[in-house]
Amino acid sequence: MDKQPEATQTIIFDDMVLEKIAGKTASEVDGVLSLQGNLIDNLSDRLTESDRPQSGVDIELDDQQKTVAIELDAILEYGKRAEEILTKVTSKITSAVTTMTGYRVFEVKLRVKDMLTKDEWQQRQQSSRSKKKKDD
């Protein structure tokens, strides 16, 4: 029996996949109310009305080194310690990305766009939903 040569295997992750992993994971951390994209992201969210967990997430990916840097734009809960939130976000994202992709996260940046109480956040969400219904 001749032994067949082993096939080379390569897996490449699209940037959006890593953005999605980071976005979904960060959104689950206590103290993160929302990830906020730039103006273009926000406009496209309104147009498509889709759940976009990658909104507010930018990554720098090095496929050769299998490393990734992640930058998040977020609204945090007023009264919570931003440093503690960043520590939890970093830990959870690092674990999720490594588990799902095998890539190593070497940097996580958190840009705080706003800090709101839960009541303020809920009011914004309700007024946003009301506005969407009127536009339809």
pLDDT band, very low/low/confident/very high, at 134 (cuts 50, 70, 90): low
pTM as predicted: 0.78
- pLDDT tens digits for range 16-39: 999 999 999 999 999 999 998 644
Q: Which of 126, 121, 129, 95 is nearest to 34 (CA)?
A: 121
Question: 50 pLDDT exceeds 70?
Answer: no
CATH tag, 15-122 = 3.30.70.1350
Q: Where are the domains of the chain?
A: 15-122
